[in-house]
Amino acid sequence: MLKQLYQLQLIEMEEKKELDKQRQSAEFQQLRKVKADFAHQKENYLQLEQDLAALNEQLAVFPAQLAELEEKISAENAAIYDGSVVNTRELSARESQIAALTEKLHELQSLESLYMGEREQKNATILELKRQMAHDYEDFTRLKSQVQQLQAEAKQHLEQLEQQRKELEATIPADELAWYESVKNKCGGTPVAMLNADHVCSGCHTIVPPITFKRTTLGQKTVCENCGRTLFVED
Ligand SMILES: [Zn+2]
């Protein structure tokens, strides 16, 4: 009966290997990485859009402010030339007013062009980010379909193993199965080991003493002294 339990153990190991293979596959790891990169890019993109909106809001007020200043300067100039200025003191006051307004106008103009440059730069960054995201999305779709393909293959294999396991379990008495379940988690999931003709334990690959081999052949309950696995002899 230990031989059947050993076969059951082999099937379980195979199932475990299949599940690990999925998680460790290069495609799965890459998919996770691309997903993380994409999320990061999306975060950047949203931030840029927000910055751009704020910048546009700031830029929207410039035309009115500039027009207002220009209007004031024109009014001052007009006053100088329409003959309403009566003395040199008033003239010099108006002239210095014009100079102050003009300086303010230039400051505002250079601030506006600074903001415009910033907007241009942000738009370029957004464009580049969009291009990168479209490229990554292609990678993502390709990897996803590869992973799905692998998962479908794994699922099929696991179903086959499940079927084999059920058929095998049906040939094993309930108490034997119960014993196996109770020790299953020992020795890394392989509590049963087979001795070959050279007395080598399949679990730890060491040679057991002749007496152990003899007793095992006689069908007595034996364990490997080295690894603790329950032994049986290969036919
Ligand atoms: Zn052993």
Residue 192 sits at φ, ψ, to 5 deg, of: -110, 135
In CATH, 2-172 is 1.10.1060.10 = no
Residue 223 sits at φ, ψ, to 5 deg, of: -130, 155
CA of 30 from ligand 1 middle (Å) equals 39
Please give the structure tokens belonging to residue 143: 């990897």
DSSP state of 187: G
In contact, 44 and 125? CB cutoff 8 Å: no
Average pLDDT taken over every residue of the chain? 94
CA of 153 from ligand 1 middle (Å) equals 34
R_g (Cα) of the chain, nearest Å: 41
| pLDDT confidence of residue 80 | 87
> Can you give the residue ranges of every domain in the chain?
2-172, 185-233
pLDDT of 66 strictly over 80: yes
CA of 186 from ligand 1 middle (Å) equals 13
CA of 203 from ligand 1 middle (Å) equals 5
| pLDDT confidence of residue 185 | 86
Please give the structure tokens belonging to residue 139: 């990678």
| pLDDT confidence of residue 234 | 84
| pLDDT confidence of residue 235 | 76
In contact, 108 and 66? CB cutoff 8 Å: yes
pLDDT tens figures, 82-139: 888 889 998 999 999 999 999 999 999 999 999 999 999 999 999 999 999 999 999 9
If we measure between CA atoms, which residue out of 231, 201, 200, 197 comes closest to residue 216? 231
Q: How confident is the model at residue 1 (pLDDT cuts 50, 70, 90)?
A: confident
The pTM (predicted TM-score) of the whole model is 0.64
List Cα–Cα distances, 206 to 9, 77, 127, in angstroms: 20, 106, 64
